[in-house]
A and B are shown apart, each in its own frame.
Chain A
Amino acid sequence: GAVVSQHPSRVICKSGTSVKIECRSLDFQATTMFWYRQFPKQSLMLMATSNEGSKATYEQGVEKDKFLINHASLTLSTLTVTSAHPEDSSFYICSAKVGYEQYFGPGTRLTVT
């Protein structure tokens, strides 16, 4: 089946630093990937749509300068949280689109201290 990995699985960083999260499709190519954010005991909130070779499309209310997305190849999308603050602490999940389905990565737990 379609496998999506994320790295790192957990990261702790200091306030003001930047953190990069990688999302890889391991056994297939994905022209479109999605980035979600999940708060404790809540549902997933779509942050942005990442398209290979073009700019990401951000959902309303998501700061594109704070959450930088790069989709440089058909198997890799990265999310960089710039100048992270404690309120950015969350569970970040990516998915890769295959046909009309999405396959999800295992998530990255970001803690900003």
Chain B
Amino acid sequence: GDSVTQMEGPVTLSEEAFLTINCTYTATGYPSLFWYVQYPGEGLQLLLKATKADDKGSNKGFEATYRKETTSFHLEKGSVQVSDSAVYFCALGSNDYKLSFGAGTTVTVRA
């Protein structure tokens, strides 16, 4: 079945550091890929998405490229801020519109 493997955390960074969170997937067919962010005590917010191979999703300085050849969708940000501290989830959307989530990566950015 469809599944997502996400880099384990927690990840602690200093402000303005470079952030990468690895995500790989296993799927049949041609899934859509998503990154969601969850701030403390809140629900999930869609951060970015990509619907086909080589698509690049971007939002709020975050980027991720849908790589079919490596079945990956790694999240990157060049210069993180304290406000980026959150839990990040990689997710795969299958043809039946269900989402399969990775385990989540907790990111803490220190001033």
Contact = CB atoms under 8 A, between A and B. Distances in A.
Contacts of A43: 89, 101-104
A46 B42 CA distance: 17
Interface in B1-44: 32, 34, 36, 42-44
Interface of B: 32, 34, 36, 42-46, 49, 51, 89, 93, 97-99, 101-104, 106
Given A43-B89, A100-B93, A93 B43 contact: yes
B103 to A, nearest CB: 5
A107 B42 CA distance: 6
Contact of A44 (B45, B46, B93, B101): B101
Interface string A38-60: 00011110100100000000000
A101 interface: yes
B64 to A, nearest CB: 16
Contacts of B51: 100
23 contacts: A34-B99, A42-B104, A43-B101, A43-B102, A44-B44, A44-B101, A46-B99, A93-B44, A95-B44, A95-B99, A100-B32, A100-B51, A100-B97, A101-B34, A101-B49, A102-B93, A102-B99, A103-B46, A104-B44, A104-B45, A106-B42, A106-B43, A107-B43
A46 B104 CA distance: 15
Contacts of A49: 98
A7 interface: no
A102 B101 CA distance: 13
A66 B98 CA distance: 22
Interface centre among B89, B101, B102, B103 (most CB of A within 10 A): B101
Given A43-B101, A95-B44, A103-B46, 6 more contacts: A32-B97, A42-B104, A101-B93, A104-B36, A104-B43, A104-B46
B94 to A, nearest CB: 10
Interface in A58-113: 93, 95, 97, 100-107
Contacts of A41: 104, 106
Contacts of B42: 106-107
